[in-house]
Structure 1
């Protein structure tokens, strides 16, 4: 992605399935640039669009607040990742929107409270996911929801239930994952102790492959359900149903354009990226993001 930028490393939270503590073992697992250095780097980047690759741009509220204040007036349009907790923090989202936030990757991970507790994802527990989505949409921000399948409370119905919930909430895009017990994580230690790991040959598979014994379904059911979730969420019927949750015709059209463009034209995007011509698509992306940046009338 042109104009990709990183101004912080990793995340202040420690979830059992996340590899970040193992990756940064012996060092700091969360830290930020100085605000002045981050703003200077942003100033040097051309055009309007920015893609923050930070795992949790809102992780240090003081840093994020100062960064967003400094970005006001720059005329930027940007995308980033954050948490449900950060979205619900009073005032922080509004500052982000005023500085150009138009799309946010949010780690919902699961709609099952038992799974959240098991994985010690404390920042999501007892949070109203619906309120998170409404708050983002009310501020003109698109939602890219992240979901992980294969936690111990998941059974074969989890895929359809998750997709149905996400479509009904009007989430523009979704990213699905298969639970992976990375070495050095508490999840890996639990799986190893329970003899649930199928192998530890980390060169032979990718993160779309099941490498452990799921608790309430077979490995084949988990893999098949993962692919079905992607297919069902991004079929045109689902995209149009999600678009139908938007209150205005303009909002419906932009939902359909963004969600359709995100997944339906992957082969075309692949060719554009391989040809190193992604920058030429930025005006179209900026047009869509600008439309979402207009807050709905109240």
Structure 2
């Protein structure tokens, strides 16, 4: 049941608070309510968070929590929470933990049996996926690909036959190399969407087969400015046509064995799915019976 009441900070807890990825109007009323009432905000970069808080006239104690100091800061935050204080976790932009710090803090809170309250909100990966025009029912978020080319190529090779829509983050000084590597591993025809500056003034979402997209971005450097999300079509499992030779063997064996047994043997020998052989044989047999039936009707 939906509630029309804005949740307030009524219990000591770690609140995971998403913040806008660009447009400040994307922050929720609930996020603002929590940020105004917690005892402390743990931010990835207090300078970035100050801008947000000042815009909404929020005054609250800030501390830094990032990948460089989390092992030192987590025990301090756990102590605050155990003492009955409330803490809000925010990243520079978007939903904390999604390619941002926070996982270790959340894990530590779970071990200490401290309540964790995650809020829904902005996320660049989901925003790009929804506007990409690619399948959204199954997808795989990969974050940033490795910086070193050999590791990046290796990761892409692992994902070569991934059928789910793929989502990557990237930056302007490396995007050309990334697109080139995707083209090299996935082929020039794989469809890729480049979404940049989402929710901001210069937002753009452009898609094309990777070969065309690569040429397009190389024509104008402004097309890769800002923060970038790549949404890549999943691998298409194209069905191979059944060889007439294979099917003739299937019919030959089916005349001596059960159809199921024949399909199993032929599938094993030729590397073809037995269900494909089985269904095709029954379909052709059914069509043959129908043809014979029509012939008899015509003769009568």
TM-score, length-normalised on structure 1? 0.28
Q: For CA contacts below 8 A with separation 6 or more, give which structure has more relative contact order.
A: 1
TM-score, length-normalised on structure 2? 0.28
